[in-house]
Chain A
Amino acid sequence: MLTELRKSLIASIWFAFLTFPIMVIKVNSIEKTIQWRWMNVVYVMVGIFFLSMAFRFLLKQKEMRAGKEESGTEIKLSPIHQLINHPTYRVVFGAALLLFAVVYPFVFSTYQINIMTTALMYVVLGLGLNIVVGLAGLLDLGYVAFYAVGAYSYALLNHHFGLGFWAVLPIGGVLAAIFGILLGIPVLRLRGDYLAIVTLGFGEIIRLVLENWGEFSKGPSGISNIPRPGLFGIELSLNDAITYTYYLMVIFVVVTIFFVNRLQDSRLGRAWIALREDEIACQAMGIDKMKTKLIAFSLGAFWAGIIGVMFAAKTTFINPASFTFLESAMILSIVVLGGMGSIVGVILGALILILLPEYLRELSEYRMLAFGAALVAMMVFRPQGLISNVRRTYSINKDE
C-alpha cells in the first residue's frame, strides 16, 4: 500500500514537471511579461495523484479477477453475454432497440438524426471490416479505399450517365468487391504486419489517384451536387430527406447484422476463424487458403462499397479528403475496441467512437485528449474489446 502511494506521488511530481512549461508559465508577448500560475502545479499534482491511485486500484482488481478465472474451472459468462445469448431476452432486447431506432427521428433534432446516420454508417463499415479483420484475421489498414471506390462510383456514374442511387448501390458494392479481389490476389500471400503495410499503401494510392487525376475525378475540388437517395421519384424536403436517409441506414444495419451473423456460423465463417487461428493446420484440413481469404477480403470490400455509395448520397459532396488513412484507422479502432469478431461489440464500438466525440464537443479542444485517454484505458482494462466474441454452442439431440 505504501509503495503504491509512493509510486503515485512520484507520478504526480513527474507530471507536474512535464506540464510545467505549458500549465505554469504563460508568456504575454504583447506586454512582454511572464505570468506564473503556481496554483496549476497543485491542481495537476493532486489530480494526477488520484488518477494514478484509481488506475492502480483498477489494475489490481483486474489481476485478482484474472487469478480467479484461472483457478475456477467454470468460466461465467458476463451479464451482457447472457443477455444476448438468451433466446427470449435476445428477441425482446432486439425489438426494443429497433423500436427506439424507429421513433428516434420523431424525438430528436435534425442534428441528432444526422450524427446517428453517420454512426450507423460506421456500424456497417465496422461489421464489414470485422469479416476481414475479426473473422479472417487479415489486418487491413486500407479499408477506406473500398469505401472511396463505392463513393466515387456513385458520384461519377451519376455525373456522367445520370444513374440513380438505387441503380448504383449494387454496382458500387460489386466494383469495390472487384477491387478487393484485384488487390487480394497479389497481396494475400503476405501475412500480418506485411499485409497491413501493403494495404495501407493501397489505401493511399487510391486517395492519391483521386486527388491527382483531375480529368477523371475532378481532383481535390471533389464532386458536388450528388443526388440524395430517391424514393419512387417523390420530391423530399431537406428534413424529410435526412430522415429518409436515416431510415435507409437503419434497414442497411439490420440487413448487415442478419447476413454477417449467418456468415459467422456458416461453413465459410468457420473456415475464416480456422484460418485466423492457424494457417498451416487450416490448410492441412483441406481448406483452400487463397480462396477463403479472397472471399473474406472481397465481401468486406463489398460492404465498404455499399456504404461508400450511401456516404456520397448522404453528404451530396465528396472529395478525396474524406478518404484518408485516419478513416481506416477509425474503422479499425471500432472493430478492435468493440471486440474482434463480435457483432454486438462492433456495433457498440461504432456508436461510442462516433457519437462520443460529438457529445464531447463541449470540452472543445480537450475532446480529442479525452478520447485518446479513453482508448488507452480501454486497451489496458479490456484488451479483448468491449464485448468479446463467444462461439456458438450446439446442442446435439441424442434421440434422433
Chain B
Amino acid sequence: MYVVHTALTKTSRMSKKILEVKNLTMDFGGVRALGGVDLDVKGGEIVALIGPNGAGKTTFFNCVTGIYYPTKGDILLHTPGRQKPKSLKGLKPNQVTVAGLARTFQNIRLFSQMTVLENVMIGRHCRTKAFIFGALFRTKSTRQEEKEIIDYSYSILEKVGLADLANEYSKNLPYGAQRRLEIARALATDPLLLLLDEPAAGMNPQETNELVTLIQNISSGGQSILLIEHDMKLVMTLSERIFVMDYGRKIAQGTPDEIRNNQEVIKAYLGEELDA
C-alpha cells in the first residue's frame, strides 16, 4: 500500500482562489521587468502564462518563488483551513516551497549524481524532519520516516511513469524523462500550487503529447497548476484560463477562446497591421 497523494478533490477546492498576485512590480536598476502584474489561480485550475520572449514570464516566476525580491506588490497564498492568506513576499526560496509552491526549471536542474528515486526523495525533505541524531542512531521513528519517504517517492514515480528507472542515475535519462522527473520532484513537496516553467521546451511532438497526458493526470487529482509555455497547442489544450504578458505588463486574460481572438494578443505576437 502506498500513501495516496493527499490533495483535496477537485470540487472541494474549486473556485476558491489559492494564489493571488497583486500589482507585482520588479525593477532591475532602471529597467522595469514587471510593471504591476495581477494574477490569480483558483483551486484545481490549470492556468497558463504566455507572452513573447522577454515579456517577463520567468521574472514573474522568480519573484513568486522568492529568487527575486519584488520592488512592489504582494503575493498571497491561501492555504486551505487557514483564515488569513500568507504573504510570500520576502520569503526565501526554500520557505516558499515549504509554504506550498513548488516549481520546475526552464533549463533542467536535476541532481545528476543522484538516482531518479533519490531526486524525488529530495522533494520530500521539507515535509520530513529526521536530523543528525536520527541519522546517526537510526531511531525507530527515523526508520519509519525513511520508509515513508521511499514509498511516497516511488508512488510519485509510478504516477509519472518513471518507476522502472528508479535506480538509474538521473543524468542517464532521456530528455523527456528528465522533464517528467523534474515534475515528479516538485510534486513530492506536496505543493498547493505547481509552477511549471516551459515544461515542453525542446521536446519532440510525441514527448509533448505524453507531457499533456501527464499534466492532465496530475490535474485530475485536484492539483492546481500554473505554467509558462510557448507551445500554443499545449497551452490551448490544457489551460482553463490564460494570462498574456508583453513588455512586463499583463495585456490580456481569459479563456483560450477569448485569448485566441484578442486583438492585443495578436498584435503582441504578430506585430501591427500596416495601413497601405
A interface with B by C-beta (< 8 Å): 259, 262-263, 266-271, 273-274, 276-278, 280-289, 295, 299, 389, 391-394, 396, 400
- Please give me the residue from chain A that is nearest to B97 by CB atom: A286
In Å, the complex CA distance between A392 and B111 comes to 14
A283's contact among B94, B113, B115, B121, by CB below 8 Å, is which?
B94
Q: How many A-B residue pairs lie within 8 Å, measured between CB atoms?
A: 118
Residues of A within 8 A of B111 (CB): 273-274, 277-278, 281-282
Residues of A within 8 A of B127 (CB): 286
Residues of A within 8 A of B112 (CB): 277
Interface mask (B142-168 → A, CB under 8 Å = 1, otherwise 0): 100110011100100000000000110
B135's contact among A262, A285, A400, by CB below 8 Å, is which?
A262
Residues of B within 8 A of A282 (CB): 111, 122
The 4 closest A-B pairs by CB, nearest first: A286-B126, A266-B135, A286-B97, A281-B109
B93 at interface, CB cutoff 8 A: yes
Assess whether B150 is in contact with A288, with CB atoms less than 8 Å apart. no
A391's contact among B67, B115, B142, by CB below 8 Å, is which?
B115
Given known A394-B117, A394-B167, contact A285–B97 (CB-CB < 8 A)? yes
Given known A268-B135, A273-B114, contact A284–B130 (CB-CB < 8 A)? no
Assess whether B166 is in contact with A396, with CB atoms less than 8 Å apart. yes
Residues of B within 8 A of A277 (CB): 110-114
Assess whether B114 is in contact with A269, with CB atoms less than 8 Å apart. no
Assess whether B126 is in contact with A280, with CB atoms less than 8 Å apart. no
A278's contact among B92, B103, B109, B118, by CB below 8 Å, is which?
B109
Residues of A within 8 A of B70 (CB): none
B98 at interface, CB cutoff 8 A: yes
In Å, the complex CA distance between A283 and B126 comes to 10
Given known A268-B135, A391-B115, contact A280–B122 (CB-CB < 8 A)? no
In Å, the complex CA distance between A276 and B121 comes to 16
In Å, the complex CA distance between A277 and B169 comes to 13
In Å, the complex CA distance between A270 and B125 comes to 9
Assess whether B94 is in contact with A289, with CB atoms less than 8 Å apart. yes
A to B CB contacts below 8 Å, 22 in the list: A262-B138, A266-B135, A266-B146, A267-B130, A267-B145, A268-B130, A268-B131, A270-B114, A271-B122, A273-B113, A277-B112, A280-B109, A281-B109, A281-B111, A283-B92, A284-B109, A286-B125, A287-B126, A389-B113, A391-B115, A391-B118, A394-B167
- Please give me the residue from chain B that is nearest to A264 by CB atom: B135
In Å, the complex CA distance between A348 and B145 comes to 34
Residues of B within 8 A of A278 (CB): 109-111
Assess whether A394 is in contact with B109, with CB atoms less than 8 Å apart. no
B interface with A by C-beta (< 8 Å): 1, 65, 67, 92-94, 97-98, 102-103, 105, 109-115, 117-118, 121-123, 125-128, 130-132, 134-136, 138, 142, 145-146, 149-151, 154, 166-167, 169, 185-186, 189
Chain B nearest CB, measured from A389 CB (Å) = 8
Chain B nearest CB, measured from A294 CB (Å) = 12
- Please give me the residue from chain A that is nearest to B93 by CB atom: A283
Residues of B within 8 A of A393 (CB): 115, 167
Assess whether A287 is in contact with B117, with CB atoms less than 8 Å apart. no
Given known A287-B125, A287-B126, A391-B169, contact A268–B132 (CB-CB < 8 A)? yes
Chain A nearest CB, measured from B104 CB (Å) = 9
Assess whether A259 is in contact with B136, with CB atoms less than 8 Å apart. yes
Assess whether A274 is in contact with B122, with CB atoms less than 8 Å apart. yes
Chain B nearest CB, measured from A293 CB (Å) = 12
In Å, the complex CA distance between A284 and B118 comes to 16
Q: Which of B102, B127, B135 has the most CB of A within 10 A?
A: B135
B122's contact among A259, A285, A392, by CB below 8 Å, is which?
A285
Given known A267-B128, A286-B97, contact A391–B105 (CB-CB < 8 A)? no
In Å, the complex CA distance between A333 and B3 comes to 45
Assess whether A266 is in contact with B166, with CB atoms less than 8 Å apart. no
Residues of A within 8 A of B103 (CB): 284
Assess whether A267 is in contact with B135, with CB atoms less than 8 Å apart. yes
Residues of A within 8 A of B117 (CB): 394
Assess whether B93 is in contact with A263, with CB atoms less than 8 Å apart. no
Given known A299-B132, A391-B113, contact A270–B146 (CB-CB < 8 A)? no
Chain A nearest CB, measured from B266 CB (Å) = 35
4 additional A-B residue pairs with CB within 8 Å, beyond A280-B93, A283-B92: A268-B135, A273-B113, A286-B102, A391-B169
Assess whether A286 is in contact with B94, with CB atoms less than 8 Å apart. yes
- Please give me the residue from chain A that is nearest to B103 by CB atom: A284
In Å, the complex CA distance between A340 and B115 comes to 17
In Å, the complex CA distance between A277 and B65 comes to 20
Chain A nearest CB, measured from B173 CB (Å) = 12
Assess whether B125 is in contact with A267, with CB atoms less than 8 Å apart. yes
Assess whether A284 is in contact with B136, with CB atoms less than 8 Å apart. no
Chain B nearest CB, measured from A17 CB (Å) = 44
In Å, the complex CA distance between A266 and B136 comes to 9
- Please give me the residue from chain B that is nearest to A340 by CB atom: B113
Assess whether B98 is in contact with A286, with CB atoms less than 8 Å apart. yes
Chain A nearest CB, measured from B68 CB (Å) = 12
Residues of B within 8 A of A389 (CB): 113
In Å, the complex CA distance between A283 and B101 comes to 12
In Å, the complex CA distance between A35 and B65 comes to 76
Residues of B within 8 A of A284 (CB): 65, 93-94, 97, 102-103, 105, 109
In Å, the complex CA distance between A236 and B14 comes to 78
In Å, the complex CA distance between A394 and B130 comes to 19
Given known A280-B67, A394-B117, contact A287–B94 (CB-CB < 8 A)? yes
Chain B nearest CB, measured from A91 CB (Å) = 18
In Å, the complex CA distance between A106 and B151 comes to 50
Given known A270-B114, A286-B189, A289-B94, contact A281–B105 (CB-CB < 8 A)? yes
